[in-house]
Structures are given as C-alpha cells and as structure tokens.
Structure 1
Amino acid sequence: MNVTVFGATGAIGTLTVTDLLDRGHNVTAYARNPDKLPASWRDRVRVVIGEMSDTSAIDDAVAGADCVVSALGPSLDRKASGHPLIEGTRHILDSMKRHGVDRFVGHATPSILDPREKPTLQTRLISLMGRTMYPRAYRELLGMTDLITNSGLRWTIIRFTAPKDGPAVGDLRVGFFGTDKIGFAVTRADIADFTAAQVDDDRYAGAAPAISN
C-alpha cells in the first residue's frame, strides 16, 4: 500500500515509517525540517517538505495514498500559542476527501474517550492532568479528534498515556477503559508497530483503542 505519514520525523513517526517499510509499504513522509530526515530513508522514502498550513504541499503528499497516518502531537511547550494542528488536520482530511483516500490512522490520549467507554478513575486522572498542566495542548487534541471522528472516513485513533523510549516489548494490552485492563506506560516502538499494523487492518475502524505494555 501507499502510505503517507505526517509527523514523520518525530520520535514515534520515525519509528512508524521504519515499521511501514519493513511491512512492505511504500511511504511518503511529510516533514517540516529536512535536516531531521534519517539518512536510512534515502531512496526508500518519498519526502514532501512543508508546514501544516501549506495546503499545496499537503495535497501533494496525500495524492496517490491508500492510507494516511498522523503521528502529529501538540507541542507541550507552555509558550506555544494557537492550535496549528487543528487546522493542519483539517487540511489533511480535506485533501484525503479530494483524492478519495478513506483510511486514516492517528494518535490521541485516553483523556478523550471512545464512544463505547465510560469515564474511569484512570481516564479522569489523565484528563485532569491534561486540562490543568497542558490546557492548550489538551484543547488542540480535542479539536483534532473531533475533526477526525466526524470526517466520515474509516478512522482509527490509537490512545496512549506515557510513551517511553526503549525497544518494542511486543506484549500489548489493547482495548477500552471500563472493559479492558489498560496500564499507563508503553514504548514508542510498540506504539509505532501497532500504528503500522492498523494501516491494512480494519479491526478498529471507527474506534479509538487504548494501548499499554
């Protein structure tokens, strides 16, 4: 499949690109800074450079894709302002509809519930921390998620709480709060692997599974 990855040079995005390549997919990476492109991508990854406000570059990246993966996440810098990823996500979704791309895989946190869930102590704690410690980022995540879930596309949103560095453990808890036992920590390598697996798997289409190690 042809897969376009936004946020491709981030900590999780880079690992996701590698996992997609290992699975035999053709990858287009959308990145803001060409200096962050791994040397190992040379001749293996199609690269489009642009900002999240650049509708022309986004359209170029999405054209010809079978699936779009977003590894974008809000800045946690307290000095950051505005909600650029909300508009950026809107541009991505608009481009997908223009080009007839209907599969979207993205990321969020358990502070945003899946429709089949009810709040638990764990989700309330995560939501409280997000609202009080990073209110701008929290609002941006809400806005991005709202656009995705109301897009009419075959979307999957992967939710996780405490990403950490380290090799993939391979032992994931996947499910929904109130029904399944989901922990807090999960390696970025495991997030990337699970993300890449959703590209051609509709098991969680229209759902927002939470994952942890």
Structure 2
Amino acid sequence: MNIVLFGATGNIGKVILQEALDRGHHVTAIVRDPAKLSVQNPNLKVATGDLLRPASYEASLAGADAAIASVNDPDPDNVPKQAQVLLDTLAKAGVKRFAWVGGAGSLEVAPGVRVIDDPNFPPAWKPSAMGMVKALDVFRASKADIDWTFISPAAHIEPGERTGKYRVGGDQLLVDAQGNSHISQADYAIGLLDRLEKGDAARKRITLAY
C-alpha cells in the first residue's frame, strides 16, 4: 500500500513507520521538521507539513491508499481539531482507509465508567486523555467518506518485545489474567497495520492489548 503517516517522529509513530516499511509498504511521512527523521529507506518519502494546514500536505496525499495519524500535540484542544481536519481532508483526497492512534482513557472499565473516570487516574495525564476522548467523539460524529479506525492501546503501552501476539477488543479495557492492561509499542504497531491491511474494523473504535 501507499501510506501517508502523520507523526512519524513520535515514540509510537517511529515504531509504526518501521513496521510499515518492514512490510514493504511505501510510506510518505508528513512531519514539521524533516531533520528529526533519520530513517533511510527507498520506500520512504519525507514531506514537510502542518496537520492543521491541509494546503501544506494535500499534494502528498495523491495516490495514497491509507493514512495513519499518531499525534501528540502539546495543546490537547488541538487534537479533536486535528481529527476533524484529517477526516475531511483525507476523504476529499480519495484516501480509503485511516487509522488513528487513540488513547486508553475513553475505554470502559465498567458500564458507563471509563478509565479516565477512575479517581486514581493521574491528574497530569487528564488534559491529553480528554483531548483523545473529544477526538473519538469527532470520529463517531463524522460523515466523511472514509473507513476510519480509532485504535486505543492498552492502559500501558511502552517500548518492548515484538512478539506478534495481541488481542483485539472494542470499547472495554482489555486486561490479562493478572488484571494488567499492557502492550508493547511494537505489537501495537503490528495490530494497527494488520487492521489497515485487512480493513476489518471500518468506522469503529477498537483496542489492542495482550
């Protein structure tokens, strides 16, 4: 596939980029500062663009089969705006599939109770988590003609082994036999690319965990 990737220099974005390239996909990375992306690969193109300014990257969307966004904006209020801009811009460009790296805060731990509602949820994480909650609302309300998938990770996602194993869930937090919710960035990237290739979670929020 020809994939456009937003956020290729971020912690998760870098892992997704490598997974896509390892699978033989052609990737165009849209970044604000190309100097921050040191990956060299004949299937990789790097273009400068600002996510909230579609005119800066619209030309790079030509011929793209799919897009991935792994955004980490210091202003969480920008995150739902970015979701809306991408949904509209990608659909207008004829991109068929779109995977968004979501957060775990909106996942349910009980009926009507989300991870972010836990009184022990770290206050420092709440602004960014709420930005992702609002982004999910944008996706669910969108009428854009694109097969999007909002992919929430486990409660804990961090660098780790690439095992190729993961479970796919829906709106509920997935936990293992010990009650832990976690996944490595590498296995999250596998699950995300699998969904993009198979197109089996269109217009849904899903979650990936062990």
Partner in structure 2 of residue 78 of structure 1: none
Measured in 1, the distance between the counterparts of 2:174 and 2:31 equals 36
Q: Deviations over 1:123-147 (max 9, x none)?
A: 6344435584333212311222222
Instruction: Quickly say closer, same or farther: Cα 1:136–1:110, change in 2 above 3 A.
Output: closer
Measured in 2, the distance between the counterparts of 1:178 and 1:164 equals 20
Larger mean Cα displacement after TM superposition, 173-182 or 153-162? 173-182
Task: Give me the identity figure in percent.
Answer: 25
* 2:99 paired with 1:120: no
Q: Deviations over 1:163-211 (max 9, x none)?
A: 1112212221221366965541111111111111121212222222222
* 2:164 paired with 1:173: no
Measured in 2, the distance between the counterparts of 1:12 and 1:2 equals 20
Kindly report which structure 2 residues correspond to 1:38-187, keeping only aligned pairs within 5 A, or say none.
Answer: 38-41=38-41, 43-75=42-74, 81=75, 83-113=77-107, 119-120=109-110, 124-128=114-118, 132-152=123-143, 153-160=146-153, 161-176=155-170, 181=175, 183-187=180-184
Instruction: Quickly say closer, same or farther: Cα 1:39–1:176, change in 2 above 3 A.
Output: closer
Measured in 2, the distance between the counterparts of 1:59 and 1:24 equals 24
Give unpaired runs (5+ residues) of structure 2.
none
Give the TM-score normalised by structure 1: 0.82
Measured in 2, the distance between the counterparts of 1:61 and 1:199 equals 19
Q: Secondary structure at the match of 1:134?
A: helix
Q: Deviations over 1:100-159 (max 9, x none)?
A: 22311112223224xxxx6528x6344435584333212311222222223232111111
Instruction: Quickly say closer, same or farther: Cα 1:184–1:207, change in 2 above 3 A.
Output: same
Measured in 2, the distance between the counterparts of 1:165 and 1:127 equals 26
Match of 2:199 among 194, 202, 209: 202
- Asked if the contact 1:28/1:61 (under 8 Å) is kept, the reply is yes
Measured in 1, the distance between the counterparts of 2:140 and 2:96 equals 12
Structural RMSD (CA)? 2.7
Q: Secondary structure at the match of 1:104?
A: strand
Measured in 2, the distance between the counterparts of 1:82 and 1:164 equals 21
Measured in 1, the distance between the counterparts of 2:173 and 2:187 equals 22
- Quick one: which amino acid aligns to residue 63 of structure 2? G
Give the TM-score normalised by structure 2: 0.83
